A and B are shown apart, each in its own frame.
Chain A
């Protein structure tokens, strides 16, 4: 039953979404792939849409996938499921367990979780950039257009940082990439 799958799937994501917005993306990707809910392509598009619309990326992805799979009710269920664990944990921590997070065993667990999340996010990023540019290493096929856009984007990030002394915002990078896509793929 799709509602139950959405609920349990996103509850699990909500429980393990350490490391901010991007920490949850590999988890959601795992789940979406194993259920076959979205293509890799569509999920990547939605990550960009979630980044460019208000609200936390993880919640936005839950709303979209829920709605895509099971309409309005699906969207409601997925959104609530993904938020529920952090809601309950914060309540527990503020009401009962003020010192729980300082417990040395909890700290030891967190010390293991955090670098692991970073490793997973790093691997996801490397995998995405590589498959965009050269396809799979079993069937290397250089994608010239993608390579050109990758170079344009990295150059704009570095250039912006060099001249403006601050980081290019994700939304601006997405706008640049959209324009680059229209030009490079359009001609």
Chain B
């Protein structure tokens, strides 16, 4: 079997069987690409996980692009990335054609009223998990609290202010403080 086809099928399988995305996918990718196919090493896998944390986009896409590139260059990267998004694309496209009809049924509509509440809780839970993993220092803590306050006001008063502008501001603030300070953050010596 040609390597491109193999890449496509392997990542399509990963895309089809992992729900919710994110870290659930890492175990699956590790299992197929490191253990079974031996396309990349365990160290490379760890490396890409770290890179994925510092780059935008879903970690599954990052892993697919990286593994594809390692095995077969640019065409490989393209094929693996297409592989991982194809199954969910088909599933969601089909759902998008029928969802409105489903919602006309009272029982389904009621179920979704309940689901709506679960989504809020899931998002809160995700935030809690991220806070737990975060470095507990003054500057990140301040940025977190400020951005949360600003976004709450934006939601509450329906201000016209996008979260992307807020992210750019946070990046600029952090960079400015770093440059002004002139040296890397000293251990324990966090003074503004």
Residues of A within 8 A of B (CB): 12, 14-22, 25-27, 30, 34, 41, 44-60, 63-64, 67-68, 72, 75, 79, 82-83, 85-87, 89-91, 93-95, 101, 104-106, 108-129, 132, 136-137, 145-146, 149-150, 153-154, 157, 169-171, 173-174, 176-182, 184-186
Contact = CB atoms under 8 A, between A and B. Distances in A.
Contact of A89 (B55, B122, B144, B177): B55
Interface stretch (B2-10, B29-37, B127-135): B127-135
Contact of B60 (A56, A125, A128, A182): A56
Contact of A149 (B117, B151, B156, B167): B117
B55 to A, nearest CB: 5
Contacts of B145: 119
B58 A108 contact: no
Interface in B133-192: 134, 139-141, 143-152, 154-156, 160, 162-164, 166-167, 169-175, 177-179, 184
A51 B144 contact: no
Contact of B110 (A60, A112, A146, A182): A182
A106 to B, nearest CB: 8
A86 B55 contact: yes
Contacts of A30: 162-164
B111 interface: yes
Interface SS of chain A? helix
Contacts, number: 352
Contacts of B164: 12, 16, 27, 30
Nearest to B184: A104
B62 to A, nearest CB: 5
A125 B170 CA distance: 20
Contacts of B147: 115-116, 118-120, 123
Contacts of B139: 111, 115
B96 A75 contact: yes
A157 B122 CA distance: 10
B155 A56 contact: no
B91 interface: yes
A115 B19 contact: no
Contacts of A16: 56, 163-164, 167
Nearest to B23: A20
Contact of A51 (B20, B56, B184): B20
Looking at A123, A129, A177, the one whose CB has the most chain B CB atoms below 10 A away is A123
B170 A123 contact: no
A110 B54 contact: yes
A83 B81 contact: yes
